[in-house]
Chains A and B, each alone.
Chain A
Amino acid sequence: RKEVEQDPGPFNVPEGATVAFNCTYSNSASQSFFWYRQDCRKEPKLLMSVYSSGNEDGRFTAQLNRASQYISLLIRDSKLSDSATYLCVVTASSNDYKLSFGAGTTVTVRA
């Protein structure tokens, strides 16, 4: 079983719509969680950390469900510029150098 699993998508949504997707992780001891965004043929860029109580950054909301071992990302009022692949990242502890990356969920926002 992969350490981090994501639905590859693509999620095709119209501009202004809300899109949400999950990522599941296998290590119940995982402590740190992140969402990265990767544009086609570019490097991943940190989108946001995911905190236990859930957190919001503008139009982006991240949630953590430890009992079911998944994290989610919700994008409200989608923009064309939100089209990208979103990588789920999990690590065993805040001191762990080894991040486990999911293969990504592709979101395409259409006009």
Chain B
Amino acid sequence: SQTIHQWPATLVQPVGSPLSLECTVEGTSNPNLYWYRQAAGRGLQLLFYSIGIDQISSEVPQNLSASRPQDRQFILSSKKLLLSDSGFYLCAWSVNAQPQHFGDGTRLSIL
């Protein structure tokens, strides 16, 4: 069966520091991969999605970037975090476009 791993679970970072969140999927090949952010009391916002290695689509202009160096690895990065980057970050995978299945999430707090 397929599993998705996302880490770290929680992260506290100062403003202006870099960020790297990792997500890996096991048990499937060539999955579609997604990064979402969920602000408190809000719906999920799609940040990036990828349908293959080095193929990244960005949905929202921001100071975040994503990379997919391997088939089942998806990385969310930032060179300099802003206070507004705080939130709950979720990685997801799918075989076709839907439905999508989520990792445990990373709760990011910027100080």
Contacts and interface: CB of A to CB of B under 8 A. Distances in A.
Interface in B72-111: 88, 90, 96-105, 107
A11 interface: no
B98 A98 contact: no
B104 A42 contact: yes
For the residues of A in contact with B, the DSSP-based class is: loop
A46 interface: yes
Interface stretch (A12-20, A51-59, A63-71, A100-108): A100-108
Nearest to B4: A43
B32 to A, nearest CB: 6
In this complex, the member of A8, A87, A97 whose beta carbon has the largest number of chain B beta carbons within 10 angstroms is A97
A41 interface: yes
Interface in B53-85: 57, 59
Contacts of B27: none
B46 interface: yes
A105 to B, nearest CB: 12
Contact of B98 (A8, A44, A96, A101): A96
Interface string A78-98: 000000000100010011111
A100 B57 CA distance: 16
B22 to A, nearest CB: 16
Size category of the binding interface on chain A? 20 to 34
Contacts of B101: 45-46
Contacts of B34: 97
A75 interface: no
A32 interface: yes
Given A49-B99, A97-B32, A97-B49, A103 B42 contact: yes
A94 B90 contact: no
A34 B98 contact: yes
12 contacts: A44-B44, A44-B90, A46-B101, A49-B99, A87-B44, A91-B97, A95-B97, A96-B97, A97-B51, A98-B49, A99-B98, A101-B43
Interface of A: 4, 8, 32, 34, 41-46, 49, 87, 91, 94-104
